[in-house]
A = this chain, B = another copy of it.
């Protein structure tokens, strides 16, 4: 059983009628819903804001939660700054110890993603209902398995564009094409010490992206891919002084 935690800043859905309409129970619950249909996946959610819109001092993330999470999903947008540095650093340590992490859409600018990448993670963007066509570069990767066409389309997504300020991915899996003229590295993986990292571009809050079956298939695949074979404590004996000779 893979223990998954879906983290969401949970702000737009509470404050913006348009977003509330698309995701009435929050983006985290929309993701929980489709992931939970899999017998090998057990889903918890955690949110920065509670149902009344109050900020949680610990961003909803406790040590116990991290110890019980194999793979975390992260959705954030306008409230990255509200996640305390010490929480971001604690989750980073969990990733380096083996916890898988999946960054969705505007999570590219979260403290956590920037800490793991070591770069600005800047990009260009435009909100204009562009159509996105996501091209699959590798059809035999665990994350793209079952996507049997060259590409799939999203009728509307926020446009993201290169240059994307990231280190060269360990493997680039998808490139997004937008009818407005932009391209973007829409699906990419990295390894950070013992943890696997997947960034996936789709998922703007005003669009029903998380109900799209291809998006759901990719996220489900990514959960299984990011599930650690084992977790390695960072304070384990070998990361220390070698015995004297």
Contacts and interface: CB of A to CB of B under 8 A. Distances in A.
A142 B238 contact: no
State the copy count for this chain.
Answer: 4
Given A161-B150, A180-B245, A190-B167, A118 B120 contact: no
Contacts of A96: 119-120, 165
Contacts of A118: 92, 115-118, 192
Interface in A158-206: 159, 161-165, 167-168, 170-172, 175-177, 179-183, 185, 190-195
- Of A128, A142, A194, the most chain B CB neighbours within 10 A belong to A194
Given A177-B182, A181-B133, A234 B117 contact: no
Contact of A122 (B172, B229, B230, B239): B239
A170 B172 contact: no
A65 interface: no
A120 B234 contact: yes
A228 B138 CA distance: 12
Interface string A72-99: 0000000000000000000010001010
Contacts of A159: 242
A163 B194 CA distance: 11
A21 B210 CA distance: 52
A18 interface: no
A1 interface: no
B170 A119 contact: no
Nearest to A176: B183
A243 B126 CA distance: 7
Contact of A168 (B120, B171, B195): B171
A167 B95 CA distance: 13
A137 interface: yes
B140 A163 contact: no
A139 interface: yes
A123 interface: yes
A146 B118 CA distance: 25
Given A126-B243, A165-B193, A238 B150 contact: yes
Interface string A202-245: 00000000000000000000000000111110100011111111
8 contacts: A116-B118, A119-B193, A124-B241, A137-B163, A139-B230, A141-B229, A150-B162, A170-B170
